[in-house]
Structure 1
Amino acid sequence: MNNKTGCFLWNLRQFSTLVSTCKRRTVKLVYPLGFCRTVNVLPYWNPRNKFLNDHENGMQLSIKYFFQDALSFKSGDVGFQTNGISTVRVPMNDRLLCPRRLSFDSKRSFATVGMSDGGLKKIDFDHEVSNEDVLIKETKPSHQKLSQEYNSLSDVLDAFSKAPTFPSSNYFSAMWKIAKTMSEDQKCIEKQLMFNHPAFSQLCEHLMREAKIMYCDHLLFSLHAVVKLGLPQNTLLVQTLLRVVQVRINECDEKCLSVLSAVLAAMEPCKNVDALRAGLRILVEQQVWKIEHVFTLQTLMKCLGKDAPNTLKRKLEMKAVRELDRFSVPNSQHMFEALAAMNLRSVVLLNGCSKMVVDNIHECPFKKMVCILQSCRDLRYRNFDLFKGIADYVVSTFDVWKLKQVFLLLALFENLGFRPVGLMDLFMKKVVEEPEFLNMKNTLAILLVYSSLNHFHEHQNKEFLDIMADALTGCLHQISSENLLNAVYSFCLMNHFPLAAINQLLQKDIISELQTSGNVKRNAYKLHLLATCLELEDTPYRKSTDVALPAVPSAPVYPNAKLEEALSSLLGGEGCFSKNVQLPHNYHIDFEIRMDPSRSQVFPVSDTDVVSSAADIQRVAVLCIPRSSYCFNSNHPRGLLAMKMRHLNIMGFHVVLVNSWEIERLEINDAVTFLKNKIYSSEALLTTDVNLENTC
């Protein structure tokens, strides 16, 4: 019997001893130098097992599967059985001299050197030859070379069908690299051609077969390319790759961890994904201090997400803070999204990254600006310098932006409560010049932003509102009842009343629909404010509606003990003011003071009846205002507060706004002085020193 025949029979005998009687069988690969290894076994899963590199001891290791429905394991036994998978114990006699560099055809797992019928290279697993003889010196086409030579996904599949080579991951990586450069329409067509290509299923079979033996980075790049190319997650190929990655997760270096985390972040939850995510979490927790690249750290943070334990979140935060001095501009831009993905509001990181973003704002593309502002909203983080830096940059480069891009930024600023005056003025001017930009969707959104931030322009305000009213009138035939109510409500906040829209809104069928569908409480509140505006404001709308509008509950009362104490000390007792006053139209004021018209003298509440006429009394409404009622970092009132002030003025009140956070941080004597300057007129303070003890 010659040498090759003996080798073949030996290999065949070794192979037959490993074939299980169950449905799915595990193939044992026979390597040169006479040792063997099962590809789907793993020493006890522990991140401390450094990449399975302890092969010299010849120990019989405990075996464990770390994936879906395969959690039973034994130690020191012949093997263990899981659902449909059989695994045997592996004698680890020596290091692998030929690690995972095998070539396959579509029929056999190993064969003699030569060409198969399909033209595929094969390797002779002769255990008597040296390792150097087994490794064939040939040039393998990398995915970079394939993506440069071919321009379509079908061309790559054609190349595979003519001369398939190991590893198959190169073909998938090349197809994804080509697909990235295509437009969305072209990408959709090419993907459909890829799925229908006769060689595609064969390539998938090759990849599944090679997954257990290819290098770990090739395995993960394969999974990444397969997911990005749009293969459904529940397919056998994707699930097989996920299970193999679970078994070999300890082989991941930092680059592999980055790729794996990027893939998992893009996948929907399922048993295999959840198990792999749990394994990644354990591995990262052990290796977090050894991560060298900031980008890898950020990718892991986005993958682990909000469900990561708080201890792991803090470790990642501390690691990022340590690396803050090494952050590049892209690192600073990406950190906002990474922190938002984990729901981790790290002020130190956010402040540091904000400064770098502002200093290099010209390097920040539009998509990154949007991501940064969205992340700030999700994290409830507001930085005036960051917001102003972005707004000023867009103003200085306004001509290069599309109107829809500018408005998207304005909508995000509105969510954050920030009013970029210069940018809003420029956008208002552009809308006046190009009213054709306005469709129903844009009109509703612009009205919401400008009314919420209470923005107006001294010269262009009326022209802007008239154009917005005309745009709304033009789409009345297709607008829904709730959108119509929202649009009219926005106009009311801006003290503008388009007749056509109001007439359509106050029809009985529309009012009835708003009272019975959608957010009924919110609709009732907006209808109530509309009725208040029509009654109090100087509007051209004179037709009295006979539709019964719903009643709205009174606003909740939030007492302010510090403000009440300061007022009592300033005015000489509680008899000089009223608190928690309920007014018509469901308006509420915190404190009411009655003074003479020059606001130099305070009348006790009991003495106001003897005053000859209402003209001799100035009613002062003291409102305690939270931060949310103002635009961010300013004393500019937002839409609802501006409307309330306007209506209180119409009802004869002089409105005094007291910021709740300012009063709370003052000592009582300083609070009294602060209120004195707020309540008494400037003329009264200049002409006389008010005797606080004799004012009542």
Structure 2
Amino acid sequence: MLPFSKKLTFVGSSLFESVSVDSKMNNKAHSLLWNIRQFSTLLPRSRALRINPLGFCKPEVIHSKWNPRNHVLNGFDEGLQPSARYLFRGTFILKSVDGCTQTKGISHTAVLKLDRILCPKRLSFDSKHSFASDGASEHDLMKTNLHHTSSEDALTKKMRPTPVNHGKLAQECNSLSDVLDTFSKAPTFPGSIYFLAMWTIAKRVSEDKRRFEVQLMFRHPAFNQLCDQMMREVKIMHYNHLLFSLNAMVKLGVPQNSLMVQTLLRTIQERINECDERCLSVLSTALEPMEPCLNVNALRAAIQILVDQQVWKIDHIFTLQTVMKCIGKDTPLALKKKLEMKALKELGRFSVVNSQHMFEVLAAMDHRSVVLLNECSKVVIDNIHGCPFKVLIGILQSCKHLRYQNEDLFKSIADYVATTFDIWKLKQVIFLLLLFETLGFRPSGLMDKLMEKVIEEPGSLNMKNIVSILHVYSSLNHAHKGQNREFLEAMASALTGCLHHMSSENLLSAVHSFCMMNYFPLAPINQLIKKGIINELLTSGDTEKNIHKLHVLNTCLKLDESAYNKGIPVPLPQLPPSLPYPNEKVAEVLSSLLEGEGCFSKNVQLPHNYHIDFEIRMDANRTQVFSFSDRDSTSTTNMKRVAVLCVPKSVYCLNSQHPRGLLAMKIRHLNVMGFHVILINNWELRKLKMEDAVTFMKTKIYSNDALPTSGATVQSMD
């Protein structure tokens, strides 16, 4: 082996920049140098660097008078052309290969062991030359090397490593283990193709089978060998392959804190300047589900910088959305606004899928763009039929996260599911209803359909379904006049069948929902009010929520018409007093209308933990107001107590005057306690001038018979 003083480089047609050679070099060494000098003629004479027009800082190498199709290793791994170190019978030569995209400060080397050099026949050693052909003269050998720039011939095809396509490999293999078996028999470069093939196979199988296959993959003896090979190849691998490998590993469940994944992240970070638009999309997809760590945070910061500089040059909508989803909620507001403007600019190019996906993208960014959401909602509504269940769920979850309420969108989804009710699974319908409940939207048609289903097949419900259905119907205060009784009886029957294996908290939730709907099934309540279960609820789980529900149950048992009159036999902890909401404008309006504050009382605390904002005392016909200081009027049986409740929008179902469950129950209990209830919508009264507010309040407090025939300027909201 020749002793080299430093790395070998090419300058023009010269082979070495600096080589120290023993003065007693023999003929074999002279012949070796002569042969290698001929190979150097295949190299490009000049190289120029220019920035990629996509603007993502990817260097593009231009060679003058050089046809890359004629290069010896052209096609190596379908475009992979790093700087390569070739091994000729134990002698290393560093050779710059056409097409290398190198980042400053990073060396790219690949080790290849070749049994044949660039000549048509196998060379062997003799006494005269270092390399000699069997039957070929030195002139023929030089001719072969100097005229190698012709079209590909049999020699080139024989010398080039056989490319392995991950798609073809995925077709030939039936499992992840088959891919690893193929690798163990004949490992090829790069190792990324095996991870890509395994992820391709994993995508086409069911989720359960995928989990099983991944477990077998980790246990396979060749898996560690594949990871070792990947660790050696990361510095010389094409940047695209690095990113696809990372994405495949993340999707296959390779631990993020493993040395393999962290090495990939680090290498990708070092070569970030090679990132073009396609790479940016793949990198964003890979990083999006990953937990924060030093390398992940550094890459996300790098993506933010690249996107901030090149956002207007991003051409594909999918890339734009993937990047927006990846950079997440911690993105500076200025960049969020810039991405929003880019998306609005590209709205005309949005496909239906892009519009559907935009909800989740904005939710991931935690950026509430009402204009963008409204435009995408129109597309979703127009193309709602055939929309997959997963997409519907994603849209509703994103609306919840963004606090975006679009009644037309919700109604469109609910009507579509109600129309195609028979094609949906019961758990899918219930899941949708749970999301509608969190959004405050009451889909009457869909809920009526489910009531019919429950009445027809009560045995199809399991414990989880029962608790969820009762929660939705009680929270949204939904009842069907013709079927409500049958529905409640069917639900009570189904619940009774599950009592023996229900947890205490699930039983409490179910009975609490029944009580809110003014229905009291005996068997579940008898099971719940046992001292052992009550004590368990008061000492374990979410005790604060349990205590509140037990107080509701106790109040309902005492006030509503039920078989129980004494309530829960165990004393319950006291609830904290509710803080009064400041209603200065309502107090000012009442004082002006009733000519003084003596005719009403503020912040009245009632039994059973109920609180009312204002109390007014009137005659039975609600035509006259009594002063609180008038003892004669307060003792008469002709007096009527009026409870004025100042309520926000959240106590109603979306864009309606239909009260939700807790408000409906409170109104019912106040009526039992002898109050006439008047609801004042805070957001409506706040908009009115004082004169109009007085007129509005007058129409709410006094009965129609007591009002003048000229009518009020504002319509009553009763």
- TM-score bracket, shorter-length normalisation: 0.7 to 0.9
Structure 2 spans left out of the alignment, 5+ residues: 10-15, 19-36, 45-53, 64-93, 103-108, 118-130, 132-141, 713-718
Q: TM-score normalised to the size of structure 2?
A: 0.78
> Which residue of structure 2 aligns with residue 51 of structure 1?
58
| CA distance in structure 2 between the aligned counterparts of 1:130 and 1:204, rounded to whole angstroms | 41
Deviations 1:598-639 (A, max 9, x none): 22222233335246732x122211111111111111111111
Confirm whether residue 683 of structure 1 aligns to residue 705 of structure 2.
Answer: yes
2:557 partner letter? L
Indicate how the Cα distance of structure 1 residues 469 and 602 shifts in structure 2: closer, same or farther if over 3 A, else same: same
1:280 partner letter? I
Q: How does 1:266-665 map to 2 (within 5 A)?
A: 266-542=289-565, 545-607=568-630, 609-610=632-633, 613-614=636-637, 616-665=638-687
Q: Report deviation, 1:393.
A: 0.7
Confirm whether residue 250 of structure 1 aligns to residue 273 of structure 2.
Answer: yes
> Which residue of structure 1 aligns with residue 240 of structure 2?
217
| CA distance in structure 1 between the aligned counterparts of 2:365 and 2:231, rounded to whole angstroms | 33
Indicate if the aligned counterparts of 1:143 and 1:171 stay in contact, CA closer than 8 A: yes
Q: Report deviation, 1:212.
A: 2.1
Indicate if the aligned counterparts of 2:529 and 2:569 stay in contact, CA closer than 8 A: no
Q: Please, which moves more after superposition, 185-194 or 656-665?
A: 185-194
Indicate how the Cα distance of structure 1 residues 477 and 11 shifts in structure 2: closer, same or farther if over 3 A, else same: farther
- SS of equivalent to 2:430: helix
1:305 partner letter? G
Indicate if the aligned counterparts of 2:191 and 2:226 stay in contact, CA closer than 8 A: yes
Q: Report deviation, 1:418.
A: 0.8
| CA distance in structure 1 between the aligned counterparts of 2:517 and 2:482, rounded to whole angstroms | 15
Q: Report deviation, 1:241.
A: 1.8
- SS of equivalent to 1:658: strand
Indicate how the Cα distance of structure 1 residues 211 and 604 shifts in structure 2: closer, same or farther if over 3 A, else same: same
* Aligned residue pair count: 613
Indicate how the Cα distance of structure 1 residues 33 and 502 shifts in structure 2: closer, same or farther if over 3 A, else same: farther
Q: Report deviation, 1:507.
A: 2.2
Deviations 1:551-601 (A, max 9, x none): 223221112122222222222332222222222222221112222222222
Indicate if the aligned counterparts of 2:56 and 2:277 stay in contact, CA closer than 8 A: no
Indicate if the aligned counterparts of 1:32 and 1:129 stay in contact, CA closer than 8 A: no
| CA distance in structure 1 between the aligned counterparts of 2:113 and 2:567, rounded to whole angstroms | 93
| CA distance in structure 2 between the aligned counterparts of 1:382 and 1:145, rounded to whole angstroms | 47
Q: Report deviation, 1:380.
A: 1.2
Q: Report deviation, 1:49.
A: 8.4
Q: Report deviation, 1:140.
A: 2.0
Indicate how the Cα distance of structure 1 residues 687 and 281 shifts in structure 2: closer, same or farther if over 3 A, else same: closer
> Which residue of structure 2 aligns with residue 693 of structure 1?
none
Indicate how the Cα distance of structure 1 residues 354 and 162 shifts in structure 2: closer, same or farther if over 3 A, else same: same
| CA distance in structure 1 between the aligned counterparts of 2:306 and 2:147, rounded to whole angstroms | 37
- SS of equivalent to 2:593: helix
Q: Report deviation, 1:112.
A: 2.8
| CA distance in structure 2 between the aligned counterparts of 1:522 and 1:157, rounded to whole angstroms | 52
Indicate if the aligned counterparts of 1:100 and 1:213 stay in contact, CA closer than 8 A: no
1:624 partner letter? C
Deviations 1:213-237 (A, max 9, x none): 2322122112212222222223332
Q: Report deviation, 1:197.
A: 4.1
| CA distance in structure 1 between the aligned counterparts of 2:253 and 2:116, rounded to whole angstroms | 36
- SS of equivalent to 2:482: coil
| CA distance in structure 1 between the aligned counterparts of 2:210 and 2:405, rounded to whole angstroms | 39
Q: Report deviation, 1:505.
A: 2.3
Deviations 1:492-526 (A, max 9, x none): 11111122222232222332233333333332222
| CA distance in structure 2 between the aligned counterparts of 1:49 and 1:302, rounded to whole angstroms | 19
1:645 partner letter? I
| CA distance in structure 2 between the aligned counterparts of 1:473 and 1:684, rounded to whole angstroms | 51
Q: Report deviation, 1:190.
A: 3.0
Indicate if the aligned counterparts of 1:447 and 1:487 stay in contact, CA closer than 8 A: yes
Indicate if the aligned counterparts of 1:595 and 1:601 stay in contact, CA closer than 8 A: yes
> Which residue of structure 2 aligns with residue 674 of structure 1?
696
Deviations 1:46-81 (A, max 9, x none): x9883245899xxxxxxxxxxxxxxxxxxxxxxxxx
Confirm whether residue 97 of structure 1 aligns to residue 98 of structure 2.
Answer: yes
Q: How does 1:224-243 map to 2 (within 5 A)?
A: 224-243=247-266
Indicate how the Cα distance of structure 1 residues 97 and 341 shifts in structure 2: closer, same or farther if over 3 A, else same: same
Q: Please, which moves more after superposition, 430-439 or 473-482?
A: 473-482
Deviations 1:630-649 (A, max 9, x none): 11111111111001100111
Cα RMSD of the aligned pairs, angstroms, is 3.5
Q: Report deviation, 1:129.
A: 7.2
- SS of equivalent to 1:619: strand
| CA distance in structure 2 between the aligned counterparts of 1:437 and 1:621, rounded to whole angstroms | 44
Indicate if the aligned counterparts of 2:56 and 2:306 stay in contact, CA closer than 8 A: no
Indicate if the aligned counterparts of 2:651 and 2:660 stay in contact, CA closer than 8 A: yes
Q: How does 1:118-197 map to 2 (within 5 A)?
A: 136-137=156-157, 140-197=163-220
Percent identity for Structure 1 against Structure 2: 61
- SS of equivalent to 1:331: helix
Indicate if the aligned counterparts of 2:436 and 2:442 stay in contact, CA closer than 8 A: yes
Q: TM-score normalised to the size of structure 1?
A: 0.81
- SS of equivalent to 1:111: strand
1:374 partner letter? Q
Indicate how the Cα distance of structure 1 residues 485 and 169 shifts in structure 2: closer, same or farther if over 3 A, else same: same
Structure 1 spans left out of the alignment, 5+ residues: 19-29, 37-46, 57-92, 102-106, 116-123, 691-696
Indicate how the Cα distance of structure 1 residues 202 and 34 shifts in structure 2: closer, same or farther if over 3 A, else same: farther
Indicate how the Cα distance of structure 1 residues 648 and 129 shifts in structure 2: closer, same or farther if over 3 A, else same: farther
- SS of equivalent to 2:193: helix
Indicate how the Cα distance of structure 1 residues 511 and 132 shifts in structure 2: closer, same or farther if over 3 A, else same: farther
Indicate if the aligned counterparts of 2:633 and 2:639 stay in contact, CA closer than 8 A: no
| CA distance in structure 2 between the aligned counterparts of 1:373 and 1:689, rounded to whole angstroms | 43
Q: Report deviation, 1:288.
A: 1.6
Indicate how the Cα distance of structure 1 residues 32 and 660 shifts in structure 2: closer, same or farther if over 3 A, else same: farther
Q: How does 1:59-138 map to 2 (within 5 A)?
A: 97-99=98-100, 109-114=111-116, 136-137=156-157
| CA distance in structure 1 between the aligned counterparts of 2:598 and 2:357, rounded to whole angstroms | 59
| CA distance in structure 2 between the aligned counterparts of 1:315 and 1:609, rounded to whole angstroms | 70
Q: Report deviation, 1:114.
A: 4.2
Q: Please, which moves more after superposition, 269-278 or 191-200?
A: 191-200
Indicate if the aligned counterparts of 2:56 and 2:276 stay in contact, CA closer than 8 A: no
